[in-house]
Every structure is written in C-alpha cells, then in structure tokens.
Amino acid sequence: MLYLFCFIDRTNIGNARLVGFEKDLGLKGYDYNAVLSYFYISYILFEIPANMLCKWMGPGWFLPICTIGFGISSLAYAYVKDIHSAAGVRFLLGAFEAGLLPGLAYYLSRWYRRSELVFRLSLYIVAAPLAGAFGGLLASGILKMTSVAGLRTWRMIFFIEGIVTIGVGIIALFTMTDRPGSARWLSEEEKDLAISRLKSERVGVTEVLDRIDKPKLLRGMFCPITLATSWIFLLINITVQGLSIFAPTIIRTIYPKHTVISQQLHTVPLYIAGAVLTVAISFASWKYDRRTLFMLISGPLIVIGYVMFLATNNPQVRFGATFLIAGGAFPFGALCNAHVSANVVSDTARSSAIATNVMMGNLGGLISTWSFLPRDAPNFPIGNGLNLASSTLVVITAAAMLVWMKFDNKKRENVDVSSKLAGLSQKQIQDMDWRHPAFRWKL
C-alpha cells in the first residue's frame, strides 16, 4: 500500500497533464520536463543518506514518516500556482520518496533469505504498474466530479490522492514492525527461527543486524555486482519511469481522437500486463533461484516492443507493443534489487548496495524526463529510439555479468580459504563481506 501510493503520487502528474496542468500554470516549451526533473534531482541526492537513516531509525518508523511526507507534498500540489511552486513541491516529493523503494527492499531483506527475496520484493514492486492502472482509473473517476474542497479538474486529483496517502502513512505508523526480533505477533521460537534462517547463509558474519561502519558501507556500494546491476537499473528506468510519466501522452499519440477519459483508461491494461509479468517472472526467479537469467528473458521483450513501435504507425500494433514494453520492464525492479541484496553479506553492505542501485535507477528516471520532448511529437522517434538503445544495452550487460560471475565463482573454487583467513581478526573477516574466499556469487 505504501509503494502503491508512492508511485501514484509520483506519476499522477501525467494524468493531470491531459486536463490542463500545463495551461493553468503557464508552462511552455520544456517547462513540463524541467518540473519533472526536480523530483529526480532530490531523489538522487537523498537516496543513500535516506537508506542509512532507515537503518538507524528502523524501517517501522522511517517508512511511514516518508509516506506521510510525500502525501503532504502531493496534497500541496493541488495549490501550486506557477512553475516555481510546482518545481519546489516536486523537489520535496522526491526528497520524501527517496527512502521508500530502497527502504522497503532493505526492510524485506531483514525477513527473507536471498533466494526468497525476489518474489517478496515483487509483491510490493508490482504496486508500480498497479499504480499506473489504478491511477488511471482513479483519475478518470475523480475527473467526473464537479469539484472537491473548492478545487477543480487536475487539482482534485492531487488533493484526493494526497489525503489518502497521508491516511495510509498514519496507519502504517502504528502497524509496521522493524524486524523479526521485535514482532509482537511472533512467538520467541518463531523469532529465533527467523533470525537463524538469515544468519545461516551469511558467510563470516556473527550478527544479523550489525552497526553501520565505513568498510561494509563501501563494500556494498562498490561491489562489482552492485555496479553492474545498478547500470542495468539505470538503463531500465529510462523505460519504466518514462512509461509511468508519459504513458497518457503516448496513448494520446496512438488514439488522438479519443476523449481524455478514454485515453486515461487505455493506459490501464498495459499496466495490468506489467503487474502480471512482474509477479510471474519473480515467482519463477524464486523457484529457480536465478535473477540474471530472468533479466535475459525480460529484456528482449522491451527490445521487440520498441522495434514494433518504431516500425509502424498502425495504432493496434503500437498499442500491442506497449504491452510487451511494460511486461518486460516492470519485473526489473524486483530482479535488480534482489540481485544486489543477494550478492553482499552484511546488513550494512546490503542497505548501501540497494540504495546505490536505486540511486542509479533514478539517474535513468532523470534521463527519462527529457526523453519525450515537445519538438519530437507526435510520434517521438528520438524518445522511442533512446528506449530501444537502452533496453538493448540491458540485455548485453546482463549477459556479460552472468558470464563474469560464473568465471569468478570457478576461480574462487581454487582458493584455500584457511590460508586466506589465517591471522585475521573476527572484525577483519566480517569486513571482507563479498571478498570472503568462501563467498560465491548468486546468479
């Protein structure tokens, strides 16, 4: 629920655009793209500090407070008057949302083993495409109303969705539990079992929740798998974030003669396709305990979709292509965050690895805000060409990463673990993290 409304509050600006957002605020030229960019600037700046704060405060407090914050920001959007206030509120929205995606991934990693994590991540990341579907339906329903609290048209969307988000955040403040050890609804035996399950697969670690320290922090950020996966997440978010913000605009280019409500509703089925494949692919990834393989299955769907989109102006073919694009792109949220989590050891390294991955992903989001420019309308060949190139690079990078991981695992098989650890203190062994000679990359 938290991530559903996080994504709705992020993307409802795309729905507002269809009903006079730009005209009412006097936005011209590239002003709309600039307003979108302010969100990603704050998101990127606060990403890693937010996840460190999440670990320090505890997710049970941090995540609901973030939700209330971006709910208030969404509510404030109902009252913006010009580009300056719109950009300022958008910056605040990004600052509050920065901690949620990595914070939730880190939170769930406190409960589930590495092979189990990807499917559990998908059960909240599926809220991203569902937010697109639900957001389109909700916006269509809101726009049928005459006014709310003296507000009309697009301002009603921000007001109502902001109020609901604040309510969800307040409920979470009283219901979320930090970790298995503090869960009132678990018995002592169940708490011990939950902690033992996590500890059993962490090489060289004696505690599940460690203190924040610099060596482990840097191990998570600069792990080669974190860097490679973060590059993939950057590339894929050019598509995911671009689709989320510009889907109503893209549908308008396919069906220009349809009513605004019809255009809003046409975004719903492609998001449902994205939601179904997010859960299905993540479930298969969990059962086979493979993440890179399913990146190589999902990536080509996006490539094919953009080839179809660029190759024809036929509305039916283009609309069908959006299903392939959404279905291939949305599963990467769960796959990439689970992959970086699986390939570090300590709690601190995991929190910084996930934060680095999401920060890089939002660099892709920043790029996406400039991928569909007014001068490129109505068919946006530059924006669609950029997405074709980035999705092709995703497939190439995932293939190269898989080959390297297999090669390095074979190399580690020949290392004498005892001699490598001889003379090292327990602290030095723990700080090795993924450099520990007994550690193996999870494919």
Specify the pLDDT at position 202. 62
- Average pLDDT score over residue span 3-10: 83
Q: What is the pLDDT of residues 162-173, one digit of tens each?
A: 899 999 999 999
pLDDT band at 255 (very low <50, low <70, confident <90, very high): confident
Q: What rounded mean pLDDT belongs to the chain?
A: 83
Q: Is residue 282 part of a domain?
A: yes
Q: What is the pLDDT of residues 215-245, one digit of tens each?
A: 777 888 889 999 999 999 999 988 887 776 6
Specify the pLDDT at position 433. 72
Separation of first and last alpha carbons in the chain: 30
- Alpha carbon of 68 to those of 45, 62, 97, 167: distances in Å? 20, 10, 10, 8
Q: Is residue 442 part of a domain?
A: no
* Structural domain boundaries enclosing 338: 2-435
Rg over alpha carbons for the chain, rounded to the nearest Å, is 22
**Which residues partner with 148 through β-bridges?**
151
Q: What is the pLDDT of residues 295-340, one digit of tens each?
A: 999 999 999 988 988 888 887 888 888 888 888 998 998 899 889 9
Q: Is residue 202 part of a domain?
A: yes
pLDDT band at 50 (very low <50, low <70, confident <90, very high): confident
Q: Is residue 443 part of a domain?
A: no
Share of the chain above pLDDT 90, in %: 18
Is 312 or 68 the better-scoring residue by pLDDT?
68
Specify the pLDDT at position 207. 55
Count of structural domains, the chain: 1
Is a pLDDT exceeding 60 seen at residue 397? yes
Peptide bond into 378 cis (omega under 30): yes
Q: What CATH number does residue 274 fall under?
A: 1.20.1250.20
Neighbours of 181 (CB within 10 A): 15
Residue with tokens 């999705």: 391
Q: Is residue 441 part of a domain?
A: no
Q: Is residue 396 part of a domain?
A: yes
Q: Do residues 400 and 416 make contact, with C-beta atoms less than 8 angstroms apart?
A: no
